[in-house]
Every structure is written in C-alpha cells, then in structure tokens.
Amino acid sequence: MSDQTLLQMLEESRYTTVLSGAGMLLESGYPAIRDGAEAYDLEQKYGYAPEEIFTGSFYSARTEQFFEFYKDVILGVIDTPPGKCFYEMAELERKGLFQMIVTRRVFGLPERAGCRNVINLHGNIYNNHCPHCGKRYSVDYIRNAKRVPLCEDCKTVIRPDVCLYGEMVSNQLITRAAEEVAKADVLLVLGANLKSYLCSHLLPYYHGEKLIVINSEPHFSDKYADLAIHRRVDDTLEQIRKELEN
C-alpha cells in the first residue's frame, strides 16, 4: 500500500493512539541497553548485566554503583536531541492526526520534540524526588552530583521517577494507556512489533478498525496488522506529512 493509502487511513480516523517503541529510540541514536553487543559491553565494563544494575535492589544495596551506571549510561546520552521521527510525530499530532502517544521509554523524547499528549508508562528521567521528604529534583541535579545524589534537606538518596527492571508499572498509568487504546479506532505502532512488551500488554484492549505497524524489521506478528510497513519510522512519518501538506 502507498503512503497515500496510509494517510487516508489516518485522516479518516476519529481517534488515533500511537504506541512508540524502541525502534524510534534507536533511530535517534539512543542505546538499547538490553540488546546484543551494547548489553555485553556494559556487562564487561560494570561487572553486571544492565538488567542487574538497573533495579531497585541495586539502587538500595549498591547505591554508588547504581548511580555510576545511571549517570554514565542513562543520563550520558540526554544531550543527544530527539531524532527526526519524534519531530515528525509531533508535527502530525499538531495537525490532528494523532491524539495520544504511549511509550515505555524514559528519555522524554516525544515531549522534547513537541508532543503534547504523552503517557510515559515507565516514567521520565527528568522527574526525580526524595523518597523521605518528597522534594523534587531536576535531572541536572542528579547528573552533576559528585557521587550519590542526596536530598539537600534530609540527605536521603534521591530516587529517579522511572520504573526500574522488575518493578510494577503504576496501575493508574496502565489504566490510562488501556483507555486510550480502547477508544482508538486506529492504533498505530511505531518502531515495535506486535509481540513487543508494549504491544502485547495493550493490544487486548484494542477493538478499533485499523491496526497499523511501521517498523524497519519484518516480524511474524505483522500478519495480525491491517497494514505493515517495513521502513524507518522517520522516513515514513516525513512522507505522510508531505502528502498531508500537498
């Protein structure tokens, strides 16, 4: 199917919910720390796999090692701007094609690119708090701490407002995301396959008319989509925008 057909599906949609996956992160030059060579290199450097370090138990028991990893690997990339895919997504939202964006990624890339309606299921690195007194802290405060970031008032270790590996996602956020998927007549999956964690947990709530996948890599689950496009997200969204403007 052509980009024009895809655009027609989106224009005819009364409510489109977008599921933004890891592929958009990779297109923006951000790491996929659980995958392949990246995960192996991190384990060689830190002595533990990312799934071991980026956990609540590591945060509590090996706090200094946790923040060494967190500041170097997670916060070390945040000066990289959002990729074109996020700016194109924000522009299509402004033009009324997308009503809600749901993501598990914690870097705040949709908002930084200008998206307004975003559900961050796993939180956001730009939000941090003191677990004892509740005082809020910026990401720069965490990044600039010499070692472990402590609360200025009560000296408690500050907690990033992100969902660490093994932790449960907030029921409130899951409910919101499920409601957004349920009321969509078009569900657009960007940079993920339908068996990814994000999709597999939310697809049961979808009862709309068109399920569309845009992902670089083909996947056996594409057969469940009404339309599957195997191309970079940024190039595809850019083409949709140009078709819309024409």
Q: Which residues are catalytic?
A: 122
Q: Which residues contact 2 (CB under 8 A, 6 or more apart)?
A: none
Q: How many Å is the Cα radius of gyration of the chain? A: 19
3 state SS for the chain: CCHHHHHHHHHHCCCEEEEECHHHHHHCCCCCCCCHHHHHHHHHHHCCCHHHHCEHHHHHHCHHHHHHHHHHHHHHHCCCCCCHHHHHHHHHHHCCCCCEEEECCCCCHHHHCCCCCEEECCEEEEEEECCCCCCEECHHHHHHCCCCCECCCCCCECEEEECCECCCCCHHHHHHHHHHHHCCCEEEEECCCCCCHHHHHHHHHCCCCEEEEECCCCCHHHHHCCEEECCCHHHHHHHHHHHHHC
| Residue 2 exposed, middle or buried by CB count within 10 Å (0-12, 13-18, 19+) | exposed
Fill in the amino acid letter for 16.
T
